[in-house]
Chain A
Amino acid sequence: MELFQYPYMQRALIGALVIGLAAPALGIYLVQRRLALIGDGVGHVALTGVGAGLLLNRSPVLVAVIAATIGAIAIEIVRARGRTSGDLALALLFYGGIAGGVLLVGLSDATSANLNAYLFGSLTTISPADLTTIAVLGAAILVTMIALRPALFAVSHDEEYARVSGLPVRTLNLLIAVATAVTVTIAMRAVGVLLISALMVVPVATAQQVTRGFRSTMAAAMALGLFAAGSGVWVAATADTAPGASVVLVAIASFLVVAVASAVWRVLRRRATPTAAPTPEPHEVVLS
């Protein structure tokens, strides 16, 4: 516990908690619109931004935000067009993003350790300025996702209905795309581009096994994200493991525990209350 007396560990913990709370709040909309893996794609594109930042001696995170935003908007445009080649276009973007990142980092003076910090996260090297960026952007994501929940739910649940309701569907979709890019970039410091989607998606997947409504799923997913971030950093500090990987493994362990527990509970409940077979409606055709 005394490790948390060091300011760098406190920053790591606060940064992780902010991301643990904000990532599932956005992720629930991505899961609902079957874009669970989009965080991965945007992360790949963000890596090109990191490479460009390192090469140009600009802030890698800042350039990554710009690259990720452009990538997320491009993905959204492909998705909205609904063409069958969208799948391939996304693949091109993903691999182009990661290859561009590796190439640009190689051209710069950065070492492979620098690249690793962005690929797998580097919570303990968060500077006070980084923490401010994470906290401000994380709070902005959180407030937007919660305040606009009815509209974002409607557009993620049934886009055509949202359009006939007169909602600004294109603006809301772009908002989700930009929020994805921002979340990916701030989470990059915590868990790395290769593990970002886990924090957006796994808490949602865990929560929805036991919840009945959208709002309760969102609340439970945010609580689970917070728990995974906090205990992941604690595990990393005490067992000296990689923080990003520890956070993600705690999230996945929670998923497994909840999955097994809810399956057991369902079996027990079914044994306790044997339900009568539902009475079917009469046949609509004459069976000879």
Chain B
Amino acid sequence: MTSPVITVEHGVVGYDGRPVLRDISLTVNAGEVVAILGANGSGKSTLIRAVLGLVPISAGSVTLFDRPLRRFRQWARIGYVPQRLGAGGGVPATVREVVASGRLARRGILRPPGRSDRSAVDEALRAVGLADRAGDPVSTLSGGQQQRTLIARALAGRPELLVLDEPTAGVDAASQEAFADALRDFVTHGGTVLLVAHELGPLRPVISRAVVVHEGRIAHDGAVPDPAGHHAEPDHDHVHPHCYDEPAGLWSN
């Protein structure tokens, strides 16, 4: 159970010369559920995008399943859940059609879908509690249900590693619970999880390790830290009426 699934060594990422991640080293082993925490703009989303090769690293190395990222080809072993569904050009797509995309990594682009593809899609839809919405256009779903659709898409490929970008941000309570259940189920069957979160909420019991990113560096790696300051008060409602971390711009006061 200790074989590393993700290894980042001295990773550096910059956008237009501005460093976002400086010297990040991180290892995720099989069976772990690792949460990357941090404030807005700390670079936590950039970290998982770099792990998946969606943003290039300018120094250091990323290894997936014992292979350097550059030579990694077994993408079916990874299920990626982006922050939200792109709006697209308005062409309707059903929930089932979106979830079926999750089978492509396993099937390849030339083979038509078969029975095993259909049953995997059915199973993924059940796992997130959307089996009854399979034929509905995704645009008619709530934000939380759309997020569950994306999780089902990742699960449909039967991955060994799930990588999720803020899966619970702006998601209703019912969807958060459904998501926590699906994740628990995935982990019980031996899956590994790397997720980015702003706050953990109902996910907290599932997390085995927390990594806190601060100003592009890892500030903490270990047990899930307790919330600080007024966040720790028992009746604290975690809301952000104003987001102080947003860069000053046209719309800020």
What residues make up the interface of A, taking CB atoms closer than 8 Å to B?
A: 28, 31-36, 147-148, 150-151, 153-154, 156-158, 160-168, 172, 204, 208, 211-215, 217, 281, 284-286
Contacts and interface: CB of A to CB of B under 8 A. Distances in A.
B86 A166 contact: no
Contacts of A211: 92
A287 to B, nearest CB: 11
Interface in B48-98: 52-54, 73-76, 78, 80, 82, 85-86, 88-94, 96-98
A252 B93 CA distance: 23
Contacts of A167: 104-105, 109
B52 A164 contact: yes
A286 B101 contact: no
Given A31-B89, A208-B92, A150 B172 contact: no
A163 B54 contact: yes
A213 B100 contact: no
Of listed B109, B137, B173, residue having the most chain A CB within 10 A: B109
B237 interface: yes
A212 B135 contact: yes
Contacts of B136: 212
Given A163-B54, A217-B91, 6 more contacts: A36-B89, A162-B104, A165-B104, A165-B157, A166-B105, A213-B94
B92 A213 contact: yes
B1 interface: no
A31 B92 CA distance: 11
A215 B137 CA distance: 12
Interface of B: 52-54, 73-76, 78, 80, 82, 85-86, 88-94, 96-98, 100-105, 109-110, 113, 135-137, 153, 157, 163, 172-173, 237, 239
B100 A150 contact: yes
B88 to A, nearest CB: 5
Nearest to A28: B91
A34 B97 contact: no
Contacts of A168: 109
Nearest to B135: A212
Contacts of A158: 82, 85-86, 101
Contacts of B173: 281
Of listed A154, A160, A167, residue having the most chain B CB within 10 A: A154
Of listed B53, B75, B239, residue having the most chain A CB within 10 A: B75
B238 to A, nearest CB: 9
Contacts of A217: 91-92
Given A161-B82, A214-B97, A285-B239, A150 B109 contact: yes
14 contacts: A32-B89, A34-B88, A36-B89, A150-B100, A151-B109, A153-B93, A161-B101, A163-B54, A164-B78, A166-B75, A167-B105, A208-B92, A212-B136, A212-B137
A164 B75 CA distance: 7
Given A150-B101, A213-B137, A161 B153 contact: yes
Given A158-B86, A164-B80, A165-B75, A284 B239 contact: yes
B237 A284 contact: yes
Contacts of B109: 148, 150-151, 167-168, 172
Given A167-B109, A213-B137, A157 B54 contact: no
A75 to B, nearest CB: 16
Given A151-B109, A165-B104, A157 B98 contact: yes
A158 B163 CA distance: 16
A31 B104 contact: no
Contacts of A285: 237, 239
Contacts of B237: 284-286
A157 B101 contact: yes
Contacts of B96: 213
Contacts of A212: 92, 94, 135-137
Contact of A154 (B90, B101, B163): B101
B104 A157 contact: no
Nearest to A204: B91
Contacts of B94: 212-214
A31 B101 contact: no
A223 to B, nearest CB: 16
Rank and list the top 6 A-B pairs by shortest CB-CB distance, nearest first: A166-B75, A151-B109, A213-B94, A165-B105, A164-B80, A154-B101
Nearest to A214: B93
B55 to A, nearest CB: 10
Contacts of A215: 97
